[in-house]
């Protein structure tokens, strides 16, 4: 029964990752604005990592879409099981 919640868990996992990625991207922009050469070079290295993660945004979208279509199906199954248990 726990396997039914896998898409929801994946969606939450990827949404947290996406939020972290966005926060990191905003932080890099702040570092770039400092004008310090050492900080800017470190920000450039982090920017490369963020760009690599950004190329995989399709995974975030895929997990979100799967959850949107999967969740009503799972709720229906759980509701039917609940009705069956209540009326038996």
CA atoms of 19 and 82, how far apart (whole Å): 35
CA atoms of 82 and 76, how far apart (whole Å): 10
Asked if residue 44 belongs to a domain, the reply is yes
Domain around 54: 7-87
CA atoms of 57 and 36, how far apart (whole Å): 31
- Helices of type H across the chain: 6-32, 37-54, 57-87
Phi, psi of 13 (to 5 degrees): -60, -45
Both tokens of 56, joined, read 């995989």
The total number of structural domains that make up the chain: 1
Quick one: average pLDDT of 66-79?
A: 74
Over the stretch 9-62, which tens digit does the pLDDT of each residue have?
A: 777 777 777 777 777 777 777 777 777 788 778 778 777 777 776 666 666 667
pTM over 0.75: no
Asked if residue 2 belongs to a domain, the reply is no
């Amino acid at each position: 029964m726990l396997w039914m919640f896998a898409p929801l868990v994946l969606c939450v996992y990827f949404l947290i990752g996406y939020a972290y990625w966005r926060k990191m991207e905003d932080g890099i922009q702040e570092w770039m604005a400092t004008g310090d050469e050492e900080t800017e070079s470190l920000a450039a290295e982090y920017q490369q990592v963020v760009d690599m993660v950004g190329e995989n945004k399709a995974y975030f979208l895929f997990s979100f879409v799967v959850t949107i279509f999967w969740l009503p199906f799972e709720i229906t199954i759980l509701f039917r099981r609940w009705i069956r248990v209540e009326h038996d």
